[in-house]
Amino acid sequence: MAQRKTAAVILAAGKGTRMKSALPKVMHPLAGRPMIKHLLAAVDAAKLDRAVIVIGPEMDSVAEAVAPVSSAVQRDRLGTGHAVLCAKDALAGFAGDVLVLYGDTPLLTPETLGRVMQARSDGAAVVVLGFEPVDPAAYGRLVLDSQGGLDAIVEYKDATPQQRAIRLCNSGVMAADARLLFDLLSKVRNDNSKGEYYLTDVVALARGKGLPCAVVRAPEEELLGVNSRGEQAVAEAVIQTRLRHRAMDNGATLIDPSSVFFSVDTELGQDVTIGPNVVFGPGVTVADGVEIRAFCHIEGAKIGRGAIVGPFARLRPGAVLQNDVHIGNFVEVKATLVESGAKANHLTYLGDARVGAGANVGAGTITCNYDGFLKSLTDIGAGAFIGSNSALVAPVKIGDGAIIGAGSVITEDVPADALAAARGEMRVVPGWAKPYRERKKAEKAARKKRS
């Protein structure tokens, strides 16, 4: 028997007024990725065949972010049932099951989605995802029948004291056959205090037809809804905990796991050691055997095998460190290729540059890459030695094996194996310092006396 097709309808039209932001709620990031994309990643990993995002009329940024996933617009916000109906045209001709999800619940796992769809395959006409929160508060309660099937969803305000004592709560996530779901939704009424069409009414309509309904349980953590900055912080903590465990399970050592922050796309090799207070922005790949010392910030960078980074280093987008590179304290690297075995151990800026294999860049060196209008390349050859406190004014090329004297300002190309020193001639005036100090002390005393 062929497996049924599955589609997700993700409700994301909420304004998110409690976020107090011009950014649509579902676009707020968690671990470097908008929360709506976390949910889409789970949908993809669960191997659902397609998805439709229901958005508000002013949410073009969401439609652009989720493309090529289809979007449907809910022009009037008339409740969850109405929102699902807004996806009907986008699913015209679709024969299979529909899974209704919420764009502000980004922590659902593919495994949980798979269990919901399996319950649907096992014969339940409608499947609802439930959970047992520490504080059930005002959640709708899931009332089960004597066989453990779902008998009803009762809103908290309508529940009896006995029903309010039920700890199994409604998450809002629901699965049903597409044709049945849209048929039942067409019969939902809005004769309630809010004048809205509730998705939860589908269960009562299905039970009225004698159709079996089921509940699948999930951990409370997965069903956290993000409606405020505080809840966003809680969700971020959950995702970071997951990412830290993933990193350690895959062979990385985190000296102080709670102080390390990952992006969801961070890729770590085996035997990577990460010190305290390290932050990974999006787009970071780290090879085997790398050591990243404390207080580093890394984004959009690739780090080769055996490299050492930090402490207090910053790798910006376009930084590529090949094998066995050393980037030390207070070194910033941006849009630069640092070839195998090269070193910049302290107090250096490398931007729009190439540092050849085995080169040594001394403390205080900067590549002067920007003239106020354009950025230009600095090319440092293999085995070159750049003396401390040097300024390399791009565009400029330092040949293989060349030596730059400390304190130089280099504005022209330097041939291979040459010595270049560009600084003012040193002048020594014997005995000058002592009378200078005496004169200044007298001047200071006179000022103090006048005041």
End-to-end CA distance of the chain: 99
Residue closest to 177 by CA, chosen among 138, 208, 206, 145: 206
Distance CA 215, CA 197 (A): 22
Whether 346 sits among the annotated catalytic residues: the reply is yes
Contacts of 38 (CB under 8 A, 6+ apart): 30, 31, 106, 107, 239, 264
How many CB atoms neighbour CB 439 within 10 A?
10
How many CB atoms neighbour CB 247 within 10 A?
22
**Active-site residue identified among 28, 82, 326, 346:** 346
CB 342 within 8 A of CB 359: yes
Rounded (5°) CA angle 347-350-351? 140
Distance CA 48, CA 113 (A): 9
DSSP states along 41-59: HHHHHTT-SEEEEEE-TT-
Residues making up the chain, counted from first to last: 451
As annotated, the active-site residues are 346
